[in-house]
Amino acid sequence: MQGPKFDGRQRAVVQRVRPEVDGGRFPIKRTIGEAVVVEADAFADGHDQLRCNLRYRRRGEAEWTEVPMQPLGNDRWRGSFTVEQLGRYEYGVLAWVDHFRSWRRDLARRTDPADIATALQLGAGLIEKGAARAGDEDAPLLRAWALSLTGDAPIEQRLKAALDESSASLMDKYPDRRFVTLYAHTLEVTVDPVRARFSAWYEAFPRSCTDEPGGHGSFRDCESRLAYVAEMGFDVLYLPPVHPIGRVNRKGRNNNLVAGPDEPGSPWAIGAEEGGHLGIHPELGTLKDFRSLVARAATLGIEIALDIAFQCAPDHPWVREHPAWFRWRPDGTVQFAENPPKRYEDIYPFDFESEEWWALWQELRGVFEFWIEQGVSIFRVDNPHTKAFPFWEWVIGELKREHPQTIFLAEAFTRPAVLHYLAKLGFSQSYNYFPWRNTKPEITGYLTELSRSEGREYLRPSLWPNTPDILPEYLQFGGRPAFMIRLILAATLGASYGIYGPPFELFENEPLRPGSEEYLNSEKYQIRSWDLLRQDTLKDLIARINHIRRENPALQYDWNLRFLPIDNEEMICYAKSSEDLDNIILVVVNLDPYHTQSGWVELPLEEFGLEAGHPYQMHDLLSDARYLWHGARNYVELVPQEVPAHIFRLRKRVRSERDFDYYM
């Protein structure tokens, strides 16, 4: 029989550490300043006392910081740490049997004097060993303590000395950790900027950003448009691709297979003789203009987000320079994108099984690097689920190692497993099924899943009521109220949301054809001119809502969402609150864009810190109206043609005669 390769004396067990994604295969995500609350099972055989610590460090640091975990009962422990810097942190859990604490617990229970005397002697020995582990300062204190347990003093006196609290705390500093058990996995946290968790996005086509009808908007026009975006209170202005647009097989308006000579084509058909993914479409301006736009936006608190679409138009320079990056057909042509019998001949996908995949990966990484150098740190990635998954894990990992401020939004409108997997791989935010969740059970079920299930540790949803690809049926038929409803839902259900404008604020709702979710006269294929000054624009409502989001911390987090009962299936009610209950937001929405609806909402008074008998004030932050409510059940009525929602801030303190200056 061979000798052992392990120390069998590690009696403590650590298991079921949470949060943990796929056994530690993927990191969880947090934003700067957030807490990482960790739980674990920790126990040992028998009745000995256990100590259990959480440890953490920034990646690359040699030293761990340890914090004690507290027992929750049933062998479950909890501890937490706060992530203070961008980048990757590591954490783990460790536990060990603490003979000193076991001894002390037992000592307090002993009754037989002979037994106590023996135990005191044993304890003195344990403390002596602690002294040997202690520093110069504490060792003499511990030795003196050990001495006081033995010797000639009366046993009651020695027992009292042994049970001294502060000496025990001193001893706790020098535990015997020879047989410490470390949890099998080192777990990781990606720490992102706050905007990865809390952000309001506005998507707009720069070429439509001109007031000159029929003209081609430029980055300079975009600069002028920044004030408009800032007035609405957005954090992020996201631009579809800004690169030269291919001429070969260019699409015409409304996705026509043939483009007229003056048609601009789709910005997603990237690359022409003027350049590829590092180039700028000449009519938009120059790289200098782009940098100027980024800088100007920054002064308004807006970040420019770029679209990263890894595909090429047939005349992209890479097709000529790197033929091995594409799949070639037996007829000597490059394989275009297709889903037979549909053909997308203006687009060549990359072949991620290319022999030269490593060179391709590096070049694609270089695209991100280039735009990061131009001041961009937010990227919206087009159809990531049609590019090889190992590439995303590698490229986001590499980029965030160098540039931990970067944020990646996955356009992951795909099957659930794939949507989740992309988030695990590193995407900071994810598009999701929100556009297709419109009824009360759909919204309740889906948002509960997003905010409560284990996936929340790595998947941050971004809620979009529309995109250039998606004009949902609900918006097509519900008129202006439908847009208000979906806006309010997106902006208050989700800490991150976005709209594609100006079609959104101008409630553009005509589809390409009945049954389609494509826009008629979509900006994807043509330049549009928008009347931003229309009286009925939703601009002011948007501004109001973004203001409310900024003022109320409860709306800046996803996990605190909680649905509340309301006795009308056309109405939905939910609350978000800060941990200290200082900021409690209650949202009631009429989901029916056609009819006035009313109902009784039911509040969990006690959980909101409200006393049953006292009135409280509901301050509607949308209308600025204030309502005095009383008790758990209260009546709400909403007219969709006016404002189809209340966004209440609950104000617990209602003044009474006792507050009057001369009352006492």
Instruction: Rule CB under 8 A: choose which of 339, 513, 533, 659 binds its own copies.
Output: 339
Is the Cβ of residue 323 or residue 416 nearer to its own copies in the bound state?
416
Three-state secondary structure of 98-127: CHHHHHHHHHHHCCCHHHHHHHHHHHHHHH
Is the Cβ of residue 33 or residue 390 nearer to its own copies in the bound state?
390
Instruction: Rule CB under 8 A: choose which of 1, 62, 533, 612 binds its own copies.
Output: 1
Tell me if 47 contacts its own copies by CB under 8 A.
Answer: yes
Closest to 304 in 3D by CA, of 318, 290, 314, 315: 290
Q: How many CB atoms lie within 10 A of CB 467?
A: 21
Instruction: Rule CB under 8 A: choose which of 59, 173, 177, 329 binds its own copies.
Output: 329
Site track 115-154 with its own copies (rule: CB under 8 A), x = hit? x--x--xx--x-----------------------------
At its nearest, how many Å lie between its own copies and the CB of residue 8? 5
Instruction: Rule CB under 8 A: choose which of 70, 255, 256, 386 binds its own copies.
Output: 386
| HSE, side-chain direction, 13 A CA sphere, residue 175 | 20
Tell me if 184 contacts its own copies by CB under 8 A.
Answer: yes
Instruction: Rule CB under 8 A: choose which of 44, 187, 204, 259 binds its own copies.
Output: 44
Rounded distance between C-alpha atoms, residue 109 and residue 449, angstroms: 48
H-helix or E-strand containing 226? helix 219-231
Query: Alpha carbon 578 to chain centroid distance?
Result: 17
Is the Cβ of residue 9 or residue 513 nearer to its own copies in the bound state?
9
Please say whether the beta carbons of 433 and 446 come within 8 A: yes
Q: Which of 41, 90, 351, 411 is catalytic?
A: 411
In sequence order, the 6+-apart residues with CB closer than 8 A to the CB of 619 are: 625, 626, 627, 648, 649, 650, 651
Structure tokens at 152: 């000639």
Contacts to its own copies from residues 411-430, by CB under 8 A: 415-418, 421
Contacts to its own copies from residues 81-100, by CB under 8 A: 97
H-helix or E-strand containing 477? helix 473-493
Tell me if 75 contacts its own copies by CB under 8 A.
Answer: yes
Is the Cβ of residue 355 or residue 567 nearer to its own copies in the bound state?
355
Tell me if 613 contacts its own copies by CB under 8 A.
Answer: no
At its nearest, how many Å lie between its own copies and the CB of residue 596? 40
What does the angle CA 55 – CA 57 – CA 59 come to, to the nearest 5 degrees?
Answer: 140
Is the Cβ of residue 3 or residue 213 nearer to its own copies in the bound state?
3
At its nearest, how many Å lie between its own copies and the CB of residue 223? 36
Is position 346 annotated as part of the catalytic site? no
Stretch that binds its own copies, among 36-44, 256-264, 314-322, 447-455 (CB under 8 A): 36-44
Where does 44-151 show beta strands of DSSP type E? 50-58, 65-68, 70-73, 76-82, 87-97
Max CA pair span of the chain: 107
Residues touching its own copies, count (CB under 8 A): 68
Is position 411 annotated as part of the catalytic site? yes
Q: Which of 48, 98, 192, 382 is catalytic?
A: 382
DSSP state at residue 270:
B
Site track 5-24 with its own copies (rule: CB under 8 A), x = hit? -x-xxxx-x-xx-----xxx
Tell me if 580 contacts its own copies by CB under 8 A.
Answer: no
Structure tokens at 476: 């097509």
Is the Cβ of residue 308 or residue 471 nearer to its own copies in the bound state?
308
Stretch that binds its own copies, among 84-92, 347-355, 566-574, 646-654 (CB under 8 A): 347-355
Is the Cβ of residue 76 or residue 143 nearer to its own copies in the bound state?
76
Strands 571-577 and 584-590: antiparallel
Is the Cβ of residue 368 or residue 483 nearer to its own copies in the bound state?
368
Report the DSSP beta bridge partners of residue 328: 334
Instruction: Rule CB under 8 A: choose which of 135, 154, 213, 341 binds its own copies.
Output: 341
At its nearest, how many Å lie between its own copies and the CB of residue 181? 9
At its nearest, how many Å lie between its own copies and the CB of residue 357? 5
Rounded distance between C-alpha atoms, residue 361 and residue 371, angstroms: 16
Buried b (16+ CB within 10 A) or exposed e, 48-77: bebbbbbbbbbeeeeeeeeeebeeeeebbb
Structure tokens at 222: 């975009």
DSSP H stretches of helix in 313-356: 317-321
Closest to 103 in 3D by CA, of 118, 119, 83, 80: 119
Please say whether the beta carbons of 614 and 656 come within 8 A: no
DSSP state at residue 617:
E
Stretch that binds its own copies, among 287-295, 337-345, 506-514, 646-654 (CB under 8 A): 337-345
Q: Which residues does the annotation mark as catalytic?
A: 382, 411
Residues forming the site for its own copies (CB under 8 A) = 1, 3-4, 6, 8-11, 13, 15-16, 22-25, 41, 43-47, 74-76, 97, 106-107, 109-112, 115, 118, 121-122, 125, 179, 184-185, 329-331, 338-341, 343, 349, 352-354, 357-358, 361-362, 385-391, 394, 415-418, 421
